[in-house]
Structure 1
């Protein structure tokens, strides 16, 4: 019986070092050796297995088997590709070609390394150069030259480097000369251009003004921070067809127009999870607008297509309609509660007409007419004496709230088909206008009320189609613009200095926003430098309610940031209806937002001088944010799984009256 064998033969001692058996077959086995790595590949003609061995002269057995490759078909032969073909970046040490039935397959031998982005020099010793080492004449004369070797590190970044290494010396020299010539020409051309430019600048040189200094402001880096998803309210079935407002909120409830006809769904704000069986306020017809009473969290006003204002009282057990007023002959377009007068509601009809109501008595105080088209929105002045009204006839009007007279008006530049919205800019007596022009470009303008309604700023923002809604902070004189169906929030600071409107940071929300509302300033988290607390209606289509904090990045949060928290107007009614109509004047009550026990930043001891940017602090901050994101993702997965289990869980009814350990 003939068995195949292979072994290592020592030429210096003229005897074999070791002989090992090989799987029996009638085919002749041909070894393929890689002299760089001392690997031996064995396979016979007709075999389907390729065995890989390693030769080590320091090992007493000389040969150790590493692995075997089961091809699954009979092979006619194997060979190795040159070293220049291996993937050094992937830690491939050899590429084996296998000839099978009508095909040639390629198989690489890899070494698994953790840091494969670096060149692994211990895997790649210098490889013999395959080019000519000496001429025939030199060989015949008996000259003995050592073969040229190349380090494979040159192809770690580019295989072209190895191709260049194999080029003959005369070709390399020619390329070097051409490269130097080209670099010299480019350098001379660049020097000539710079000289011409210098001469031209010297010729036209003028005395330049002092460079413009970046304007200092506390609010340049206003940003948003979304609350954790476990605080979200999901599965909200929102009707987006008729209502001007898609979400309203106070410290206790959140309300949305429910899918179908004539219902507002009210849900506890602190109760997260799926909105199942909410409290319904049934209007009986299509809802055009709704709002909560700012002084009573349990009162909701609804205006519908039937022209009626309906008042609902909300309790955990359900909602009860307590009053109904026939406000307009046609449908109501908007509903606003006066933030200074108790039980005072302003309704906007399609006549067009604006009416101010005493809700308690169900009487109209006075009507305001004279509008050329439908009213878009209204905005109250800082003292409640006047309101600004935006109309589709491209005119903004100022109305006296005590007698209903139109005091002033002007045409705005935002005169496109989609109209515009107005916001009163606090105590600085200006109007901020945002809308579309005739070129369908979104933009804003600023109108000075004291200067006979003069337009002092008109700027284009972009060409997006989302309608921007303004929110003005009268304490900080910062205006926020949020687009319906967009993910961005534009911020502007309004001042008395030209150009009057100063762009701030553009913040991005996590999801598309279809509706939003905000809390009063006194409910913000002062200890985290929060200047506005938003409640958003997210999703596409909208189906989730989330909370987002608008904050100013600060370092010394252990102190009360009194430079960004001036005294704010207290959230309470100042006048009664009778006092207002009799012309009574009262001072507006303001409150300090300083938490008890916190020291003001202006009274804090000075900090030791430190570097403006600390890379160590930045690294720790990034690591902390990444850890918070990981923890939030884990919690979200667990929370979603619990919700799924809760939806599919069928509780077992037990008739027993009590449990016993017996």
Structure 2
């Protein structure tokens, strides 16, 4: 009698653990917009989610530690004039977040370290160039201040956030229909896109050339999502002709046949893939269902190995994914998701069961740190570089908040100052600073008056 050999893997017993009630974010009104983004973005400092808001589009940003019931008057980021569709934290500055909206703009915001105390209406930069709603925003993984946006005008724009200019455009000749997903390769040399025209494309954005493309990776008509995974491979999620959900792994040099194609179930929610390059695990989160499936990718056949599934009772409206440097390494946590319910956000930790309290080096190889490997100019000039890696052995300590350098206002005044006068600011700069000081003093005085009035009314009561 032949016995089935069980493949050995240290990730075979990874399990999902939802946070206790007091570690969730309660009473948040998650956006009702029907759009296939995750609606949530997290980093080691903040949790952000797109919420319902009257009179335009808004999203909520909270310090990670501010769990529990969220005050209904909590200040929001509310500069967009129409619903927000996608948000993404900058990988090189934990205080900077980008948002794309139905108002056709992309905005970049700077969040103060302790979170917002007043509503934030003024973006650092507003990027205008799309003619229809912007559904996807994605930061370059290794080059500083490079941001990609994809709109329903079938155009992909790559921005230099430092100058506020669109430096690259991939027009409707590349994507003749709605773009469903965009993903950067690990070194940011290529992007992988999926489109309503049923094609997945691998593109060199600086040249505007299609390196490879696959027609109908999945036979169904529902949206396909595609991401880069381990070297030279992409993973796609989609639907069969019979509307069964599928996941497929492809070699980018031979896209004729998939390395692996698996059918999962008959749910209708689009599967959002999240890939962890440190462990080679891909997590599939179904939008509108209640499960997270995870698979390990290996270099030998059958390449894509099903590990397990985390299920809960309530379905998810969206999902955020924590970068590796934000995890608790002393608890053998290898991934953490932030699941959006209708009225709350629930962290879910993915853990490898181990007894030892010592640092597990095999689970935590050096991972992408917060420092950019390239400037925007170097990347646009043709250079590529993988992420600068850091060790998590002693835990991750976030660096002090960094200022986002933007060439406008005072910065552009500095740039206009001749080099020999760089020691002393120009009269133009001084007058602008004085004007700003007067404006700030007036605001402080106004706030003080309001406080005094409030105190008087409370005492009178």
- Equivalent residue for 1:299? 96
Partner Cα separation in structure 2 for residue 278 and residue 572 of structure 1:
31
Any conservation in 1 of the 2:190–2:203 contact (CA below 8 Å)? yes
Residue of structure 2 equivalent to 1:465: 268
- Does structure 1 retain, via aligned residues, the 8 Å contact 2:230–2:297? no
Q: 1:322: Cα distance to partner? A: 2.2
- 1:654 deviates by 8.1
Partner of 2:25: 233
Q: Find 2:224's aligned residue among 402, 409, 420.
A: 420
Indicate the residue corresponding to 1:572 in structure 2.
371
**For residues 250-281 of structure 1, what are the alpha-carbon distances to aligned partners after superposition, in whole Å with 9 as ceiling and x for unaligned?**
22322222323312222232112222222222
Q: CA deviation at 1:583?
A: 2.2
- Deviation at 1:380? 1.8
The structural deviation recorded for 1:587 is: 5.6
**Contact 1:353 / 1:371 at 8 angstroms: preserved in 2?**
yes
2:352 is aligned to 552
Whole-Å Cα distance in 2 between the matches of residues 582 and 250 of structure 1? 29
Q: Indicate if the aligned counterparts of 1:520 and 1:571 stay in contact, CA closer than 8 A.
A: no
Aligned residues between the structures: 387
- Cα contact 1:413–1:437 (8 A) shared by 2: no
Aligned ranges 1:447-596 → 2 under 5 Å: 447-451=250-254, 454-509=257-312, 511-538=314-341, 542-555=342-355, 557-586=356-385, 588-595=387-394
The structure with more helix, counted as a fraction of residues: 1
Report the counterpart of residue 394 of structure 1 in structure 2. Answer: 198
2:170 match = 368
Contact 1:302 1:309 in 2 (8 A): yes
Secondary structure of 1:214's match?
A: coil
RMSD: 2.2
| 1:212 Cα offset (Å) | 4.2
Q: 1:432: Cα distance to partner?
A: 0.8
Partner of 2:49: 256
Measure, in 2, the Cα distance between the counterparts of 1:226 and 1:314.
27
Give the Cα–Cα distance (whole angstroms) in 2 for the partners of residues 364 and 594 of structure 1. 39
Give the alignment of 1:22-33 within 5 angstroms.
none
CA positional deviation for 1:509: 3.4
- Greater relative contact order (Cα 8 A, min sep 6): structure 1 or 2? 2
User: Structure 1 residues 278 and 267, CA, compared in 2 at 3 Å: closer, same or farther?
Assistant: farther
Shift of 1:581: 1.5
More off after superposition, 475-484 vs 245-254: 245-254
CA shift at 1:452, angstroms?
Answer: 5.1
1:407 aligns with 2:174: no
Quick one: structure 1 residues 216 and 279, their matched pair in 2 at CA, closer, same or farther if it must change by over 3 Å? same
Deviations 1:193-247 (A, max 9, x none): xxxxxxxxxxxxxxx9x65422111111110112221111111122221553422
Cα separation, partners in 2 of 1:395 and 1:586, compared to 1, 3 Å = closer
SS in 1 for 2:207: coil
Is 1:288 matched up with 2:85?
Answer: yes
Query: 2: distance between equivalents of 1:359 and 1:313?
Result: 12
1:448 Cα offset (Å): 0.6
Q: Distance in 2 between matches of 1:267 and 1:472?
A: 25
Cα distance in structure 2, aligned partners of 1:655 and 1:212:
78
The 8 Å contact of residues 382 and 426 in structure 1, kept in 2 or not, is answered as no
From 9, 22, 34, the counterpart of 1:217: 9
Structure 2 unaligned runs (5+)?
396-456
* Cα offset, 1:310, TM superposition: 1.9
C-alpha distance in structure 1 between counterparts of 2:49 and 2:202, whole Å: 31
C-alpha deviations, 1:343-372, integer Å up to 9, x for none? 111110222111111112111111113113
Question: Aligned partners of 1:453, 1:354: CA distance in 2, in Å?
Answer: 26
Describe the SS at the equivalent of 2:377.
Answer: helix
Asked if structure 2 preserves the Cα contact closer than 8 Å seen for 1:328 and 1:349, the reply is yes
1:385 counterpart = 2:171:
no
Q: Is the 8 A contact 1:336 1:345 kept in 2?
A: yes
In structure 1, runs of 5+ residues without a counterpart are 1-207, 597-652, 657-662
Cα distance, 1:312–1:413 mapped onto 2, change above 3 Å: closer
Q: What SS does structure 1 have at the residue aligned with 2:94?
A: strand
Describe the shift of the 1:457–1:343 C-alpha distance in structure 2 as closer, same or farther (beyond 3 A): same
CA separation of 1:279 and 1:655: change in aligned 2, threshold 3 A: closer
Q: 1:654 to 1:279 in 2, by over 3 A?
A: closer
The CA distance in 2 between the partners of 1:440 and 1:350, in whole Å, is 25
Residue in 2 aligned with 1:131? none
Aligned ranges 1:43-122 → 2 under 5 Å: none
> Per-residue displacement from partner, 1:519-545 (whole Å, max 9, x unpaired)?
21122111111101222212xxx1111
Residue by residue over 1:107-153, the C-alpha shift from the partner in whole angstroms, topping out at 9 and shown as x without a partner, is xxxxxxxxxxxxxxxxxxxxxxxxxxxxxxxxxxxxxxxxxxxxxxx
Alignment partner of 2:378: what SS?
Answer: helix
Over residues 364-409 of structure 1, what are the superposed CA-to-partner deviations in whole Å (9 max), with x where a residue is unaligned?
Answer: 1111131132111112212221111111122111011432321111
- 2:49 is the alignment partner of 1:275: no
Given that 2:331 and 2:357 are in contact with CA atoms closer than 8 Å, whether structure 1 keeps it comes out as no
Contact residue 200 and residue 217 of structure 2 kept, 8 A: no
Matching residue of 1:430: 233
Deviation of residue 571 (structure 1)? 2.8
Q: CA deviation at 1:655?
A: 4.8
Cα distance in structure 2, aligned partners of 1:377 and 1:548: 24
How far apart, in 1, do the equivalents of 2:90 and 2:256 lie? Answer: 32
Greater Rg by CA: 1
1:329 maps to which of 107, 131, 151: 131
Say which SS state the counterpart of residue 580 (structure 1) adopts: helix
